[in-house]
Chain A
Amino acid sequence: MEYQVGERLLRAVVSLSFKTTQVLEDLEFEIYNTLGYGQIVALLGPSGIGKTQLFRCIAGLQVPTEGGIYINNHTEPVRQGEVGVVAQDYPLIESRTVLGNLVRAFEVSKKDVVGGKTGEKIAMEYLERFGLTRVVKNYPSQLSGGQRQRVAIIQQMMCSKHFLLMDEPFANLDILGKERARILITEMANAHELNTIIVTTHDIRMACATADRVILLGRDHDEAGNVTSGARVVGDYDLKALDLCWIPGVTETQKFADFVKAIEGQFASL
């Protein structure tokens, strides 16, 4: 992930519909690399709102009906392979070892090699940093859940040319698993000051506890409560400016609890 502080990382202007269903409608946001430290952005919305479709659009797997997703200042929409993507179940190539997974990802990404490093050398550096050297020769099915998460994220970091996109990283996890995933995402974001991780989730508390910016997605409803539009951005919260992140123990404060409660209050009408 190589870019400069202050550079625009992503511009999303998308509408997406399937036959008569409008999934995303004039959904628009931008992400800048302005913080100077690992940035985590949460795209938050209730289940079924179209987060996965937005995720697919950002990953280049789904072409929007209108508009597009643009990386940096590119005029061409994003293509698959440009953005590192970590799906819900932390997929890996089951027929390759941990090292094989990482090296293969690096090879296919055709990323520029810095300082003449080989894919294997870069992979070993990452594995050492995240305490995974013991499982270098293991196959994915031999990894624990936590190890699998780490390897899947490292793999995407090795092949991504821009930022990392994670789909529902807290789904299907118990409270300890969620906390482990939160710590891992923070660690990964902090691995380099220019790392940015975008997380799509419906978990309000985890989104607020993990991210330093929360983009809230919602839809319009008629008086009877029926949905009348596709999803769009209905709230954009800079948690750093609100003093709700990067402060030890902030998630235990009343201010944080009130913020989570306020978002929860909005959720029913999204």
Chain B
Amino acid sequence: MSEESKKRDVAMSVEPSLNLRVANANTWGRKAIAAFLPHVPLPSSAMRVITLVHIAIAIGFWMMIPESTFPGPVSIVDAIGKLWTENALGRELIVSLTLNFQMILILIPIGILTVIARSLSVTKGIVTVFGNFRFLSTAGITLILTYYTSGAHSLKLSILVVFVGAFCIAGWARMVDAVPQAERDYMRTMGMSEWQAMYETDLRGRASEMLEILRQNQAMGWMMLTAVEGIARSEGGVGTLLLNSQRTWNLDEVYAIQILLWIVGLLIDFGFVKARKIFPWAGLREGGKK
């Protein structure tokens, strides 16, 4: 190796580390500026710092708010323990979760039917009408459903299915309408029948999107759950428990149940994200990475 090339190698081995140090020194300043610029991505290390700052601010606020308006962490943990041992919180949670999962199970075949119905001229308009039910008032519909159902459980389930279903149907209809004509033509050019083309484009091809629409709207169902359980309290449920605590102005329990509902809601949502893996092609990006 010549003297020249040795010098060059040494320079190259030193230069990057020097540059790196300078870059690192500048980077945090740049990162701080970039954090306030729209659509400028930050490295994961910077994002972790931002998340920690958010958590610290949230905890700080929680500490600062008077106990009388927002109970502290200890009071909330105590309230959960009390609800669990004295008010059968576990059982009530199972009642609410059962109701929610039943709603989801009923909405899946409704989704498939909606997609098929939206593709047929004869039923296309009916889908629009059902989707527009989302503008109806819960009060009136609840009364009507009381006539057609027997028992508290079926009433609660039908209310959830009708209201969450209306939002889902509107979403699924938009999804079918948005399928490009070229995609349907492509299926036809392979010799597929209209039914086969519909299956490939709207059902199989959009299964992941269908699930995503269900995911978005079932969250609204979970949010409605407490109100619906309040309409028919005989079966119980977390909603009933919450309303009871609310009636007695037990703020610790109200916050404890709200936080529990929030965590369970997030876990259901996480379950939906995981469920999308049933469709391995969903979420694949260019280059084959997920």
A and B from one assembly?
yes
A80 to B194, CA, bound (A): 11
Chain B contacts to A: CB under 8 angstroms: 182-183, 185-192, 196, 200, 204-205, 207, 279-281, 284-288
Binary contact track A18-57/B, C-beta < 8 Å → 1, others 0: 0000000000000000000000000000000000000010
In the complex, the answer to whether A93 meets B196 with C-beta atoms within 8 Å is no
From residue B281, how far is it (CB to closest CB) to chain A in Å? 4
| Interface residue ranges of A39-89 to B (CB < 8 Å) | 56, 59-61, 80-85, 87, 89
Q: Specify the chain A residue showing the minimal Cβ separation from B201.
A: A93
Top 8 nearest A-B pairs (CB, nearest first) are A81-B191, A142-B288, A85-B189, A141-B284, A139-B281, A91-B186, A80-B188, A109-B191
Given A93-B205, A95-B204, A95-B279, the answer on whether A139 and B189 have CB atoms closer than 8 Å is no
B108 CB to nearest A CB, Å:
18
Given contacts A87-B186, A91-B183, A139-B280, contact A110 B191 (CB under 8 A): yes
Across the interface, which residues of A come within 8 angstroms of B196, CB to CB? 108
On whether A61 and B284 interact (CB within 8 A), knowing A93-B205, A95-B207, the answer reads no
Write out, one digit per residue, whether chain A residues 230-255 have a CB within 8 A of any chain B CB (1) or not (0).
Answer: 00000000000000000000000000
Contacts of B288 in A (CB 8 A): 138, 141-142
- Known interface pairs A94-B281, A139-B281; A61-B205 also in contact (CB < 8 Å): no
A109 and B285 contacting across the interface, CB-CB below 8 Å: no
In the complex the two chains form, what is the Cα distance from A84 to B288 in whole Å?
28
**A94, closest chain B residue (CB):** B281
A91 to B185, CA, bound (A): 10
Q: Are B192 and A81 in contact (CB under 8 A)?
A: yes
Most A CB within 10 A of own CB, among B207, B281, B286: B281
Give the nearest-CB partner of B205 in chain A. Answer: A95
Given contacts A95-B205, A108-B196, contact A141 B281 (CB under 8 A): yes
Most chain B CB within 10 A, of A83, A104, A142, A155, is at: A142
Further pairs besides A108-B190, A141-B288: 14, Cβ < 8 Å: A56-B185, A61-B189, A80-B188, A80-B191, A81-B188, A84-B189, A89-B182, A91-B183, A91-B186, A95-B205, A95-B207, A108-B191, A139-B281, A141-B284
Q: Kindly state whether residue A9 has any CB partner on chain B within 8 Å.
A: no
Q: A12 an interface residue at 8 Å Cβ cutoff? A: no
Q: Which residue of A lies closest to B188 (CB)?
A: A80
Which of A61, A93, A109, A140 interacts with B200 by CB under 8 Å? A93
C-alpha gap A97/B279 in the complex (Å): 12
Q: B182 contacts A87, CB within 8 Å?
A: yes
26 A-B pairs with CB atoms under 8 Å apart are A56-B185, A61-B185, A61-B188, A80-B189, A81-B188, A81-B192, A82-B191, A83-B189, A85-B186, A87-B185, A89-B182, A93-B187, A94-B205, A95-B200, A95-B207, A95-B279, A104-B190, A108-B196, A110-B191, A138-B288, A139-B284, A141-B285, A141-B288, A142-B287, A155-B190, A156-B190
